[in-house]
Amino acid sequence: MNPAGDPVNSSAKLREVLEGGAEELGISLPAATVEKVFQYLSELKQWGEKINLVGTDNLRELLTEHFLDCLAPVSLLRPRDFTLDLGSGAGLPGIPVKLALPEIRMVLLEQRQKKSVFLRQVVRTLGLTGIEVIQGQAETPGIREVLAGTFDAVLSRATGKLREVLAIGPPFLKRGGKLLVFKGPKAEEELSRLDPLPRGVNLAERKPYRFSFWENPRTILVFEKN
């Protein structure tokens, strides 16, 4: 862990990284939102010392490897889209997207109780509205029946192999809704294994993105429900 005086974790340096990374994605974060971002990172760090949230409590890594990465689909969403974060975990990507798009309606679906408690704490601490935490599994019949055909967009980050995500995610979408899947450098390789795609979806868009502090580009794969 970095010592307290290490400039890599200083407030000014981290703000510079946040604002620069967001700018690389074409996103401008108001000062009030920046404050909420650091409240969220603080909660991630504190809770991460007690329960396993994302595998690190280093503030710079939380910011660069997680928070900024989660802003990648913002340009693909409309401000009022009803959106599901599938297997939200520590609120990634749902909470960063909500902070960047305050008007969006968001549901965080998380099966584990401790992480669900954390998510509710974050929602209260940040004073977020238009966001709900549901504890449960996407595969549970009760969850599927209640939420089926409900959402304009579904977000999937680190929730499994592409084949599994394409089986789980689309039933939650309205017709014409979009499933946005975060993938690393092997996105095309995964896609090639799924030729043809499952019935009921088509690949609508690939959005590659990268940051100046990363070596490898990443991709958002956008699937549309027929």
Reported as a single tens digit per residue, the pLDDT across 122-153 is 999 999 999 999 999 998 889 999 999 999 99
Q: How confident is the prediction for the chain on average, in pLDDT?
A: 93
Q: Which amino acid is at 178?
A: K
Residue ranges per domain, the chain? 72-225
Give the strands of the sheet with 201-209, arranged side by side: 131-135, 105-110, 82-86, 151-156, 173-183, 218-225, 201-209
Q: Tell me: the pLDDT tens digits for 85-95? A: 999 999 999 99
* β-strands 105-110, 151-156 pairing: unpaired
pLDDT at residue 180, rounded to an integer = 98
Q: Tell me: the pLDDT tens digits for 196-214? A: 899 999 999 999 999 998 8
Question: Average pLDDT for residues 7-22, to the nearest whole number?
Answer: 83
Q: Is the pLDDT of residue 10 over 90?
A: no
Q: Is the pLDDT of residue 160 over 90?
A: no
Question: Average pLDDT for residues 45-57, to the nearest whole number?
Answer: 90
> What are φ and ψ of residue 215, in 5° steps?
-80, -45
- Domain 72-225 sits in CATH at 3.40.50.150
pLDDT at residue 134, rounded to an integer = 97
pTM (two decimals): 0.93
pLDDT at residue 145, rounded to an integer = 92
pLDDT at residue 200, rounded to an integer = 94
State how far the Cα of 193 lies from the Cα of 91, in Å rounded to an integer: 29
State how far the Cα of 60 lies from the Cα of 50, in Å rounded to an integer: 19
Q: Is the pLDDT of residue 2 over 60?
A: no
Range with the lowest mean pLDDT among 1-15, 67-81, 168-182? 1-15
